[in-house]
């Protein structure tokens, strides 16, 4: 099937559309947009600026992808949005292009599901197989690892990182990095448990889950400190990759300001 463009849509002739792309009524596609094979864009959507969208994505009505970053320092530079394959953006999602403060790219991976009203701010890096429920909000420069679930109404502070296979409960206010493999909840959010259900669904072994549970108890129940917890967990057997990843992530979070590993601007200035 060839490209299908609704008669009321506005598609710039310079835009590059793959095969089997469909553009719905009243949608607007800008001149610097590249859309991969099989992607469907519903009614009243806007794809603008230097935006690249991969194959077999579905963009529902009212979504805006590639809009200017909501950053007062932005001066209309040609920054980008890059989106992978097999993503779903439900109604009224927004994905802002980047500023020049990092590599100039807001990036989203593959097989993600963004429910209605989701906002992905400038300079975010979002991995694969992520679900963000209705009205989830990612601030600027946020990092989201693979296989993360973010429930409805969650606000994530700029420069925060959401670790792999974590679960963020509904209405949480994420001010600090979320450790991988954990469930966090609250305002501000705090680690509450190991994400055992998510780990089992993704094929992690019983030994992995038990090791993470032990580490969690030492870190967040006994509160013996990172170094002592690491020493005790490491002394109980082989160092499992999930455990090393957990402690490496916590170390990085502690190295930044306000529990955000990326937010190290103050240290850089002082150096």
| Residues assigned a catalytic role | 122-123, 140
Q: In what order do the strands lie in the sheet with 4-5?
A: 4-5, 22-23, 40-41, 58-59, 88-89, 113-114, 131-132, 149-150, 167-168, 182-186, 189-194
* Separation between Cα atoms, residue 120 and residue 101, nearest integer Å: 16
Q: How many CB atoms lie within 10 A of CB 141?
A: 23
Q: What is the DSSP string of 1-37?
A: ---EE-TT-EE-TT-EE-TT-EE-TT-EE-TT-EE-T
Going through 115-211 in order, the beta strands assigned E by DSSP cover: 119-120, 125-126, 131-132, 137-138, 143-144, 149-150, 155-156, 161-162, 167-168, 173-174, 182-186, 189-194
d(CA 153, CA 57): 24
DSSP state of 122: T
Q: How many helices (H) and strands (E) does the chain have?
A: 5, 28
């Amino acid at each position: 099937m060839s490209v299908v463009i609704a008669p009321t849509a506005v598609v710039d002739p310079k835009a590059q559309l793959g095969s089997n792309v469909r553009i719905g009524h009243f949608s607007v596609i800008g001149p610097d947009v590249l859309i991969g094979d099989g992607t469907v864009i519903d009614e009243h959507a806007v794809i603008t600026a230097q935006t690249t969208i991969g194959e077999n994505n579905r963009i529902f009505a009212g979504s805006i992808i590639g809009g200017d970053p909501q950053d007062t320092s932005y001066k209309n530079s040609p920054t980008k949005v890059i989106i992978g394959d097999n993503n779903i953006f439900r109604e009224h999602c927004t994905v802002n292009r980047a500023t020049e403060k990092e590599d100039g790219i807001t990036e989203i991976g593959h097989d993600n599901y963004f429910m209605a009203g989701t906002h992905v701010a400038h300079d975010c890096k979002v991995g694969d197989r992520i679900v963000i429920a209705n009205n989830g909000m990612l601030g600027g420069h946020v990092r989201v690892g693979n296989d993360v679930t973010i429930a409805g109404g969650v606000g994530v502070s700029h420069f925060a990182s959401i670790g792999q296979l974590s679960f963020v409960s509904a209405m949480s206010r994420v001010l600090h990095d979320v450790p991988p493999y954990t469930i966090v909840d609250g305002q501000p959010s705090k680690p509450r448990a190991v994400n055992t259900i998510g780990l089992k669904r993704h094929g992690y072994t019983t030994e992995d889950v038990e090791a993470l549970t032990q580490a969690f108890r030492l870190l967040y129940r006994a509160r013996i400190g990172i170094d002592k917890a690491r020493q005790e967990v490491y002394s109980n057997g082989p160092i499992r990759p999930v455990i090393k990843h957990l402690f490496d992530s916590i170390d990085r979070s502690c190295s930044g300001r306000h529990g955000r590993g990326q937010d190290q601007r103050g240290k850089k200035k002082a150096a």
